[in-house]
Chain A
Amino acid sequence: MMINIITIMQKYSVFSLARNALSGHRNWPQAWRSPPLKDSYDVVVIGAGGHGLATAYYLAKEFGITNVAVLERGWPGGGNIARNTVTIRSNYMRDESIPFYVKSVAMYEGLTDDLNFNMMHSKRTMVDVVQTWPKLRELRRRQLTMDIYGSTYEQITTEEVRKRIPALTGGGPDARLPVICGMVHTDAGVNRHDAVAWGYARAADARGVEIHQQTAVQSLLRGADGKIEGVETNRGVVKAAKVVVAVSGHTTTLTETAGLKLPLRTMNLTAFVSEPVKPLVDVIVNCPDSGFYFSQSDKGEMVIGGAPDMGQSFRRDIKQHVFEDTVAAMLSLFPSFKKLKLMRQWGGHLDIAHDASPIMDQTDVPGLFVTAGWWGGYKAIPAGGLTLAHLVAKGAPHPLMAPFTLSRFRHLDFVMEAGTTTAR
């Protein structure tokens, strides 16, 4: 059965592109199947986003578990994986965090070959524009920790910052926050978010994983012994001895149906893009003291992100004053951007734990696994999927994720992370 599926999946290449061009692109096969929903699976993954699809893929590829269904309320890759700023980096603060993100960045760099899907990965460096001395001290401290784990961070002068980012004309010596120096993170890059979702979906499907769209999980079902038994969906009950919750902001909404409380709050983080312009900035620019960051997409749009809303929110749009504050901060350093027209805005609701670090663990409900608290989880998708597949298959955390279990809350052994949000 599986071998059949693999032979059906057409390998993407320049030759398949040429062949399909000759037939007017009418004969491309579907990227993944739409099989009927079965009554039971070995593993049910809730959420066909980045983490859910990656987990299903690595369950099949690394651990040979292929009787897996990924249940998705909407469509694959329609949640937070489509609602971020595609920034991939590993400049974190804590000994526990950095090795994980170094692994994830490395996996991203090889993902195009691994999944046979062009990720359009652009390793283009991130430059932090430093405007206060406390921030410089914090980033220098990060640099020393990152050196231990093979991530790159390097200080450059204001002159070098302005040479690398000619559009940065604000923040002069008379400004309220003059530019002091820059920190360069050469490992950082951007890629194409749809390709990540579709690449994982197609590769997981080719290994036998089923992806079910328009299948909303309404509640988690527990057996008389307290173990997880399956899920209730709008298409009926699906049984599974192992259920993985990979639904970002709605994690607590779902786990509460199994009587489980988790230390998570849901917040709204927003971004917006300008009209496309000619190539102007070839790095990711992060201005933590001013509170915004941006990069220029391949299409030429400036992709701009700022601070989160205050308070909990399940909304997916931007608040007017958050938007205005971000624009004002940007214009203080990039006054020429005043001419840019802004085209689109979006927000994603994501959950954040008490200590701003992710949670990946088997919960107190046996068989129920959660991956949550991924503030800026886009960069964590490959390593997050691999480590979660390891946890589900083996029942014990992957060494890279061992510090991020739920037991850290029981022992008040928090991983207080300062590198979680870019604009902080």
Chain B
Amino acid sequence: MLLIPCPFCGKRNESEFIYGGPVGADRPDPNAATDQEWVEYLTVMPNPLGPVQENWWHARGCGDWFTIWRDTRTHDIVEAPDGTK
């Protein structure tokens, strides 16, 4: 079980949270983006062997949405993509 740091409640059990998917690229301007760029924005997500930024919802707690960096190899929750704790 992960202990996920909610910014409001502190570290809480993973079972209190609902996973909200990885953080993708920013939404491009649909009028300026090419078809390829638009499809890439819709379908391609970062899939790193290492820290990934993801959204979590403290649904069974304070209800806050927030993001964390989690290492996909170890489940360690790190401060930043370079792996510092």
Contacts and interface: CB of A to CB of B under 8 A. Distances in A.
B19 A310 contact: yes
A319 B1 contact: yes
Nearest to A313: B72
Nearest to B47: A252
B41 to A, nearest CB: 11
Contact of A266 (B43, B72, B75): B72
Contacts of B47: 252, 264-266, 312, 351
Contacts of A264: 47
- Which 6 residue pairs across A and B have the least CB separation, nearest first? A310-B19, A263-B43, A252-B47, A354-B43, A321-B1, A314-B72
Interface in A344-363: 351, 354
A310 B15 CA distance: 11
A262 B44 contact: yes
Q: Which of B19, B45, B70 has the most CB of A within 10 A?
A: B45
A261 B73 CA distance: 20
B79 to A, nearest CB: 18
Contact of B45 (A265, A310, A315, A412): A265
Interface of B: 1-2, 13-15, 19, 22, 35-36, 39-40, 42-45, 47, 49, 52, 54, 70, 72-75
B83 to A, nearest CB: 14
A349 to B, nearest CB: 9
A311 interface: yes
A312 B39 contact: no
Contacts of B45: 263, 265
Contacts of A311: 19, 22, 52, 54, 70, 72
Interface of A: 250, 252-253, 261-266, 310-315, 319-321, 351, 354, 409-410, 412
Nearest to A414: B43
A305 B54 CA distance: 26
B30 to A, nearest CB: 13
11 contacts: A252-B47, A253-B49, A261-B44, A264-B47, A315-B73, A315-B75, A320-B1, A409-B39, A410-B36, A412-B39, A412-B42
A319 B75 CA distance: 10
Contacts of B15: 321
Nearest to A263: B43
Given A253-B49, A264-B47, A265-B22, 4 more contacts: A312-B47, A315-B72, A315-B74, A354-B42
A409 to B, nearest CB: 5
A354 B2 CA distance: 25
A327 B47 CA distance: 30
Given A312-B52, A315-B75, A410 B44 contact: no
